[in-house]
């Protein structure tokens, strides 16, 4: 076992919380999110030699998750099993009362399309720069920013009304 391999696995473990958070943002469903993280970890370990040391492992993991999720969505569509957002009511769990706004944000996120959730997940949830996010998704920065702008407009529209007013006066 080389030091590089040990570092790789140690870093992977350290990244798990953020991978789960990103997974939650893009999949809309807790179990899907954790499945996705699990798949990504397995893929990362099998393809470890494809990761270039010195590049950011987090971005590489997001990229793997992104691709795995696209595969999964396609395969579910083929089988007509794509989850409807009615399946997703349990996201809020016990903290619903304290986090009404967060609940509304997550519900709004669920109504974005896959592409939009990816960009919002990377930039707003995970705080990646435009450049990093564009690299993860393998798209030009211009595409990223216009997708992000549309996603934001839609979120603003979905959240318009009581929730947004509350946020602005807070």
Partner 1 sequence: MTRFSDETLMAFVDRELDAASTAALEAAIARDPELAARVARQRNLRFAVHAAYEPVLEEPMPQRLLDATRGKGASPARESTTWRLFGDWTRFQWGAIAASITLGLLIGAGLWREAPVAGMGADLVAHRGQLLARGALARALAEQLASAQPSDAAVQIGLTFVSNAGEYCRTFALEKAAGLACKGDGDWRVEVIAQQESSRGSGGEYRMAAAGLPPAVLNTMKDRIQGDALDAEAERAAQQRGWTRGQ
Shortest distance (Å) from residue 20 CB to partner 1: 6
Of 138 and 157, nearer to partner 1 (C-beta) is 157
Shortest distance (Å) from residue 30 CB to partner 1: 9
Shortest distance (Å) from residue 156 CB to partner 1: 6
Q: How far apart are CA 113 and CA 153, in angstroms?
A: 13
Point out which residues pair with 76 in neighbouring strands.
none
Of 45 and 138, nearer to partner 1 (C-beta) is 45
Write phi, then psi, for 2 (nearest 5 degrees).
-80, 160
| Chain center to CA of 27 | 7
Of 138 and 141, nearer to partner 1 (C-beta) is 141
Q: What does the binding site for partner 1 look like in residue numbers (CB under 8 A)?
A: 1, 3, 5-14, 16-18, 20-21, 24-25, 31-32, 34-35, 37-39, 41-43, 45-46, 68, 71-72, 75-76, 81, 95, 99, 101-103, 105-106, 109, 120, 123-125, 127, 129-130, 145-146, 148-149, 152-153, 155-156, 159, 164, 167-168
Q: How far apart are CA 95 and CA 22, in angstroms?
A: 19
Shortest distance (Å) from residue 28 CB to partner 1: 12
Q: How far apart are CA 55 and CA 156, in angstroms?
A: 34
| Chain center to CA of 35 | 13
Q: How far apart are CA 7 and CA 161, in angstroms?
A: 48
């Amino acid at each position: 076992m080389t030091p590089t391999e040990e570092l790789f696995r140690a870093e992977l473990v350290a990244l798990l919380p953020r991978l789960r958070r990103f997974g939650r943002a893009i999949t809309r469903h807790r179990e899907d999110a954790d499945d996705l993280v699990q798949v990504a970890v397995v893929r990362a370990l099998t393809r470890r030699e494809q990761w270039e040391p010195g590049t950011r492992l987090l971005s590489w993991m997001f990229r793997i998750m992104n691709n795995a999720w696209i595969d999964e969505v396609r395969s579910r569509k083929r089988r007509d099993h794509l989850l409807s957002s009615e399946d997703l009511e349990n996201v809020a769990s016990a903290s619903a009362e304290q986090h009404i706004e967060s609940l509304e944000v997550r519900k709004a996120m669920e109504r974005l399309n896959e592409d939009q959730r990816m960009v919002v997940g990377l930039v707003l949830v995970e705080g990646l720069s435009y450049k990093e996010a564009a690299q993860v998704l393998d798209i030009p920065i211009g595409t990223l920013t216009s997708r992000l702008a549309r996603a934001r407009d839609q979120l603003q529209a979905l959240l318009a009304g009581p929730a947004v007013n509350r946020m602005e006066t807070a």
